[in-house]
Structure 1
Amino acid sequence: MQTAILKINGMSCSGCAGTVSRVLKNIEGVQSAAVNLDAGNAQVEFDPALTGPDAFKTAIEDAGYDVV
């Protein structure tokens, strides 16, 4: 397993954080996703043989948020 930390802009409430967490957890190969609204980031533990940061960025941006 590997861990990636993504900086996310556009989250303004716990609902936003829940949405980001849900879309990340729905990606095949993601073991866990912890979204911190105050810090504006997500920590994702994943299997690098199945997925990676590019897939996370696409899923987050498709949900309406920005990855920086």
Structure 2
Amino acid sequence: MQTATIIIKGMTCMGCVNSVKTVLNNLSGIIQAEVTLEPAQASIQYDSNNINVDQIKAAIVDVGFEVMN
């Protein structure tokens, strides 16, 4: 199990937080995803055998937000 913290730009409300969390939780390999508005970030535990950080970041971008790291 790996852990990543991804800073997200563009989230303005809890609807945004829920959108990102839903996308992350639907990805294969995500064990747990916690998304917060302040600070605007996602803390993710994932199985590196099934998914990598670049794929996670791409999913966040696909839903309409920008990743900062």
TM-score for both structures, normalised by structure 2: 0.96
Amino acid across the alignment from 1:39: P
| Residue number in structure 1 paired with 2:40 | 40
- Percentage of matched positions with identical amino acids: 40
Specify every segment of 5 or more residues in structure 2 that has no aligned partner in the other structure, as ranges.
none
The superposition leaves residues 25-60 of structure 1 with CA deviations (integer Å, 9 ceiling, x where unpaired) of 111000010001110100010000000111111100
> 4+ runs of 1 displaced by more than 3 Å?
none
Specify every segment of 5 or more residues in structure 1 that has no aligned partner in the other structure, as ranges.
none
Alpha-carbon RMSD across the aligned residues, in angstroms, is 0.5
Q: Would you say how many aligned residue pairs link Structure 1 and Structure 2?
A: 68
TM-score for both structures, normalised by structure 1: 0.97
User: What secondary structure does 1:48 align onto?
Assistant: coil
